Homo-oligomer: A and B are copies of this chain.
Amino acid sequence: MSNTPSDDVVLLAHGSGGTLSRDLVSGTVLSHIGNPTLRRLDDSAVVEANGRIAFTTDSYIVDPIFFPGGDIGRLAVCGTVNDLSMVGARPLCISLALIIEEGFPTSHLDRIMESIHAACDESGVEIVTGDTKVVNRGKADKLFINTAGIGAIAQAIDVSGHNACPGDRILLSGTIADHGVAIMGSREGLSFSSEIESDCAPLNGLVSAVLEAGGNAVHAMRDPTRGGLASTLNEIAAQSGVSIRIEEGQIPVAPGVRGACEMLGMDPLYVANEGKLVAIVSPEVAPAVLEAMRGHRYGKSAIDVGEVAQGKPGRVTMRTLMGPTRLVPMLAGELLPRIC
């Protein structure tokens, strides 16, 4: 009978709003991520904010929920911290909403909550409000997580995908395609010659370094997640009404990741990242921003990969290693479902 309480798995009754919901929240959630604001358990958290704030949301449905280099919990915190950071905001607080499949092991929930706690600590944010729902077995796949976040934007900051200007340099914080290949590898049970790990990381520290070095000359930032670097650059080119030109020879791909992509027939330009960013900055600050990025743990391999040009609005082109220039369109169709 699924309504009998158990220490081992999540039951439908854990989503009832009654005593078992309270026990699950107190025992499994608050024990890992509790703080004075969250512990009040009112219908809304109350926080202080003044001026312009950033607000974002993402749901995480990654499969598998544990993968080399991270898990769905770390991904859910980092993804939202990064979305806030990409408009130049300092992340303040995050919400956490769980949709759990009946029968999900509470030991897994504990691991994920601990991972959420660690990612919050690393990025300096707190979970201040949340929600837990449980659906019948077979009506969801183990665990889906939604996080929303609020960040504070300093007065002078105006960073947006709409602000790229002809002449701007395109700076990439490191190797691409690590996350997607790690997920693909663990999902398919592939063994690569080297263990490939997701790059899943909170980028707010790196963004602080970028903004400190580049100030107002930082025009756009984005983390190339679903759809990869190619889709992100297409989005920015379209939003800003500019062309973008990149150099294939400049784009770093780890050798193991490159090999895996070749084996799997995937173009790394379209494979998701979860700990990388693209910063589009005025040419005069590009060297200083690049140096600042390289001084940060998540930007050691930062590199200038191309430029913004007048050209046809929305067009992204790449000068290939072989010499000729080719069009880099947005991802069409689906490469890897449930990558994040």
Contacts and interface: CB of A to CB of B under 8 A. Distances in A.
A282 interface: no
A32 to B, nearest CB: 18
Interface stretch (A66-74, A112-120, A130-138, A297-305): A130-138
A334 B15 contact: yes
A255 interface: no
A206 interface: no
B52 A47 contact: yes
Q: Name the prevailing secondary structure of the A interface residues.
A: mixed
B18 A231 contact: yes
A15 B333 contact: no
Contacts of A52: 46-49
B16 A239 contact: no
Number of copies of this kind of chain in the complex: 2
Contacts of A338: 15, 133, 135-136
A186 interface: no
B44 A86 contact: yes
Nearest to A225: B17
Contacts of A7: none
Contacts of A61: 99, 133, 135, 140
Contacts of A223: 43
A18 B333 contact: yes
A223 B44 CA distance: 12
B15 A44 contact: no
B44 A89 contact: yes
